[in-house]
């Protein structure tokens, strides 16, 4: 399902503080479950999303280096928290505070990934937007997409090192 042709509307969608967006993916990031809140905000039916990559809802202004950090974290058997802006099917967007965890079988092997997303703090969104704009600009100015993502990832890690905190603590401090 190509999403590159969707024009951004600039319209922000919101959801209730008592609502939780839930999705599960297989090890390759393909959706195997999406709850009603996910489907409503993303404007997709269950049939449209199951089997599709979770990146189906990726907003183009979301820096790739944040997803690298996220995947590196969960593939190393740890949970990850991150502010994420997603894109709906029609080009609207919505911000979330995501909590992503690996799911293990009885043998301790990762078998899938689970994500719960809650309403983020408005003041945190403004801070995340500023950081993400900086990181995305670094990624986008590089001639090579991978090199740009790696450079932005290093900038992010340098910022975290200077603050003396891991990414999760940084997220909670926003």
Q: In the chain, what are the domains?
A: 21-163 (3.30.450.20)
Q: ∠ CA(44), CA(45), CA(50), 5° rounding?
A: 95
**For residues 144-160, average pLDDT:** 96
pLDDT attached to residue 43: 97
Residue with tokens 């995305």: 136
Eight-state DSSP code of residue 142: S
**For residues 14-39, average pLDDT:** 98
Model confidence at 4, pLDDT cuts 50, 70, 90, reads low
pLDDT attached to residue 2: 43
């Amino acid at each position: 399902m190509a999403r590159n042709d969707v024009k951004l509307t600039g319209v922000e969608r919101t959801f209730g503080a008592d609502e939780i967006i839930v999705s599960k993916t297989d090890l390759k990031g393909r959706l195997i479950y999406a709850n009603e809140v996910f489907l409503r905000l993303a404007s997709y039916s269950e049939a449209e999303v199951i089997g599709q990559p979770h990146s189906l809802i990726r907003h183009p202004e979301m820096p790739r280096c944040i997803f690298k950090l996220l995947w590196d974290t969960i593939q190393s058997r740890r949970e990850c928290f991150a502010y994420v802006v997603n894109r709906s099917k029609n080009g609207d967007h919505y911000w979330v505070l995501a909590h992503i965890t690996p799911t293990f079988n009885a043998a301790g092997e990762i078998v899938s990934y689970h994500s719960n997303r809650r309403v983020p703090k408005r003041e945190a969104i403004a801070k995340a937007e500023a950081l993400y704009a900086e990181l995305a600009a670094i990624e986008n100015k590089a001639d090579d997409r991978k090199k740009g993502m790696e450079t932005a990832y290093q900038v992010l890690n340098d910022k975290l090192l200077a603050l003396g905190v891991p990414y999760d603590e940084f997220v909670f401090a926003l």
